[in-house]
Amino acid sequence: MPRDKLDVMQGTLDLLILRTLQWGPQHGHGIGQAIRAKSDDLLQVEHGSLYPALHRLRREGWIESEWGVTENRQKAKFYRLTAAGRRQLSVEESKWKLFVKTVARVLRPQE
């Protein structure tokens, strides 16, 4: 893996997926690409993490899946955010913001 790419931190992948799905249903490949595009290629989602995460989120009831067809007429499984998923997203977002703020405070050099 090239050096200038970032690993997705444990626990943030769920947030990224939920957030991506907020813009509408998407298939697994699309989710991975969307995350990469939005992060200017900095965040690389491993497929080995993506699919287990998708299945985990579906089991939690935050997303649901349905077979569909892409613009290129290829068959793919599309994931969509559920109502519970939407609520979870806001929870995760605020938790993330708190986390970032807390880490930033820790990292800020002491006066």
For other proteins, the binding residues (CB under 8 A) are: 27-30, 46-49, 51-52, 54-56, 59, 70, 72, 74-77
Closest distance between other proteins and the C-beta of residue 52, in Å? Answer: 5
Closest distance between other proteins and the C-beta of residue 89, in Å? Answer: 19
Closest distance between other proteins and the C-beta of residue 14, in Å? Answer: 12
Please give the backbone phi and psi of residue 34, each rounded to the nearest 5 degrees, phi first.
-60, -45
Closest distance between other proteins and the C-beta of residue 19, in Å? Answer: 20
Decide whether 1 or 104 has the Cβ nearer to other proteins.
1
Q: How far apart are CA 78 and CA 64, in angstroms?
A: 8
Q: How far apart are CA 31 and CA 76, in angstroms?
A: 12
Residue given tokens 């899946």 in the structure block: 65
Q: How far apart are CA 90 and CA 41, in angstroms?
A: 25
Q: How far apart are CA 46 and CA 53, in angstroms?
A: 11
